[in-house]
Structure 1
Amino acid sequence: MTTATSTPASPTASPALPRLTSLSHGGGCGCKIAPGVLSEILKSSGANAVIPPELMVGIETADDAAVYRLNDSQALVATTDFFMPIVDDPYEFGRIAATNALSDVYAMGGKPIMALALVAMPVNQLPLDVIGAIVRGGQDVCRAAGIPIAGGHTIDSVEPIYGLVAMGLVHPDRVRRNAQARAGDVLVLGKPLGVGVYSAALKKLQLDDAGYREMIANTTRLNTPGPLLAELPGVHAMTDVTGFGLAGHGLEMARGAGRQVVVEWSRVPLLPGVQQLAQDGHVTGASGRNWAAYGAEVRMAEGLPATTRNLLTDPQTSGGLLVSCAPQSVQEVLEIFGREGFASAAVVGRVEDGEPVLRVE
């Protein structure tokens, strides 16, 4: 049987095979549990927890990964991420999921060293060559990152799920948390927004070929600037923008630092055609759940485009790094992004003293 492939116009190469996205109730980082629900689930998780002194970063500020000090020059970065298909091409699904999982290591300033695969598949509905293509996509991304997939775990599942446990190393002095932004910092975003909108349009077969290519290129670009940025003393905080959108992850930065994060909306890079697609109603359910969870902490100026809220809350699968840095470091930060192939990286806002909310102007 032919391996399923995907284009916007023809989501599967064989009518006998179901579309991957049709086998799941959500896709990509849009599958995340809504932030308000997640907060309730985790509310008591710290009670009676064992917290060794070597644990440099845990769950306290909803950071991207855990960090455990090994010695004076090394700390282990550990994270896991997995989700259901955001595209129908199995190979590209594997690539996107693996890129997204490794992003959390880069966001802490770490360099990946190895990964473990998490594979849950409806084996009675998907041919083995389709499942193999998913796994191969993840392997190719890890190869590009210079690391092995050293093991993993597989189960028979109702819905297709793929991802990685990712591990990396970082010098303890170069760990970059999401909670260390300083008043006066400038915010730089590494990738354009709009992946969730693209995915919603793709599911309805309304994403053209150019948009699909942009979506794949964006979601499979490894966030390699992370460890290079962490070497700069002027870079104070980093996170990657994923399922909670720019607004949600910006708010996590604001809460952790106890300061106000200001987004200058006119400077935020967007994927081509995203505003029109959002205006046409191609918005994920996760976008609405995100706003319901944290909209009370967002202060939006009057006169902004009608689509602004949906794009601020748009879940980004394998999104860009959000960097909080001193003004004198901005040029060097942008140069690092540029050398690593992130042509859309841009200054998108600033950090100010004040109530820890997100302000959009």
Structure 2
Amino acid sequence: MANEEFGKLFICGGCNAKIGPGNLSGLLGKLPKNEDPRLLVGFDSTDDAGVIKISDEMALIQTLDFFPTMVSDPYLFGKIAATNALSDVYAMGGDVLSAMNIVCFPEELDIEILGEILRGGSEKVAEAGAILVGGHSIHDSTPKYGLSVTGTVHPDKILKNNESQVGDVLVLTKPLGVGIITTAFSVAETTESAFQEAVESMTTLNKKAAELIRQREVHGCTDVTGFGLLGHLVEMMNEACSAVIEVSQLPYIEEAYRCAKEFLITAGGQRNRNYLSDQLEFQCDDFALEEILFDPQTSGGLLVSLPADEAAQLVAEMAQNGLKGAIIGKVIERQAKTIYIK
């Protein structure tokens, strides 16, 4: 009964609830920049987390992420939200050190539901090898959960998202489509098996993928979340670079294509489409694949830019470890558009 009560409260959950990139970029651009030399990565670079230098051998990674639920099982929600929050540290090339719970919870809801959310989250923190050190909670009209996470990285080994180089190959470490699938499943318009495929992806830590990536000559790395694959790829391109995506190589949940073709799509995907439209050129005619590319990913994979010979080896090693990595495109010299999809 508690799960039924909890399930009635989600309407726009996961990373689909993220404020659109257009709104955020305008606001952040008005904030004063921090000139402290200890700040190695700040909010002005649109990267995945902040990085502060502590010594010549260590820097701290700081990030937080929380959102409303997109599933009716509170324990599963806790696992997904924690996996998603931990991912930013992996995207920066770091190791997770500690985490703190962020909780918003309705006063009238059974408190045991919150216990299940926290249980799911704590299990993923433990799986990451991190220490759960506390948190903060408030009453709110809808449940929201996530983590504030601290990680560590050597100052010379930070993986930034905007240092791709011409000639690099792009590797994605998880299939796309989880936003479309969870939205369709919430209105009983897709299958249990497709939902379970999305759940498996959303609850898989990016820890192992990150360990394999760090053994390679990586030029750029980010995790794919609320801005969709295309939104985060735009952030990876600098003044010297554009990217080409080969849609035939994209890994995605097969059922997500059918759902998108039947217009079972997300509000977040439409925000991403509207914001990015002038930076893209679609050289293929496939609405469903477009929606998969714009789809907000909750606890998505890592998107990596690295030399071609390194990329092939990385994908092979990922397969050996049960991960579904794929080469999805390449980095080219700067063109009129930021990304070309063919």
Are residues 1:333 and 2:314 paired?
yes
Are residues 1:31 and 2:17 paired?
yes
CA shift for structure 1 position 338: 2.8
Q: Separation in 2 of the partners of 1:308 and 1:193? A: 10
Q: Give 2:333's aligned residue.
A: 353
Are residues 1:321 and 2:302 paired?
yes
Choose the corresponding residue for 1:139, options 113, 118, 122.
122
Q: Give 2:36's aligned residue.
A: 52
CA contact 1:110–1:170 (8 Å) conserved in 2: yes
User: SS in structure 2 opposite 1:77?
Assistant: strand
Q: Separation in 1 of the partners of 2:58 and 2:48? A: 18
Q: Separation in 2 of the partners of 1:171 and 1:193? A: 31
Deviation sequence 1:300-337 (CA, Å, 0-9, x none) = 10x43221221110000000000100112113321342
Q: Give 2:153's aligned residue.
A: 170
CA contact 2:85–2:147 (8 Å) conserved in 1: yes
Q: Give 2:28's aligned residue.
A: 42
User: SS in structure 2 opposite 1:81?
Assistant: strand
Say what the alpha-carbon RMSD is for the aligned residues: 1.4
Are residues 1:117 and 2:97 paired?
no
Q: Give 2:225's aligned residue.
A: 242
CA shift for structure 1 position 158: 1.2
Q: Separation in 1 of the partners of 2:301 and 2:321? A: 13
User: SS in structure 1 opposite 2:181?
Assistant: helix
Q: Give 2:293's aligned residue.
A: 312
CA shift for structure 1 position 243: 0.5
Superposed counterparts of 1:1-361, under 5 Å? 2-4=1-3, 12=4, 17-19=5-7, 22-45=8-31, 47=32, 49-124=33-108, 126-224=109-207, 225-232=209-216, 234-254=217-237, 256=238, 258-301=240-283, 303-342=284-323, 344-355=324-335, 357-361=338-342
Moved over 6 A (4+): none
For 1:54, the aligned partner's letter is: R
Q: How many residues align?
A: 340
For 1:117, the aligned partner's letter is: N
| TM-score calculated relative to the size of structure 1 | 0.91
Q: Separation in 2 of the partners of 1:258 and 1:59? A: 21
- Cα gap change, 1:73 to 1:228, in 2 (>3 Å): farther
Structure 1 regions of 5+ residues with no counterpart?
5-11
Q: Separation in 2 of the partners of 1:113 and 1:228? A: 19
Deviation sequence 1:32-53 (CA, Å, 0-9, x none) = 00111111221201x2x43311
CA shift for structure 1 position 257: 5.3
User: SS in structure 2 opposite 1:307?
Assistant: helix
User: SS in structure 2 opposite 1:178?
Assistant: coil
Q: Separation in 2 of the partners of 1:338 and 1:149? A: 31
Among all aligned residue pairs of Structure 1 and Structure 2, give the percentage whose two residues are the same amino acid: 38
| TM-score calculated relative to the size of structure 2 | 0.96
User: SS in structure 2 opposite 1:23?
Assistant: coil
Structure 2 regions of 5+ residues with no counterpart?
none
CA contact 1:268–1:346 (8 Å) conserved in 2: yes
CA contact 1:180–1:257 (8 Å) conserved in 2: no
Q: Give 1:9's aligned residue.
A: none
Q: Separation in 2 of the partners of 1:336 and 1:68? A: 31
For 1:319, the aligned partner's letter is: G
CA shift for structure 1 position 24: 4.0
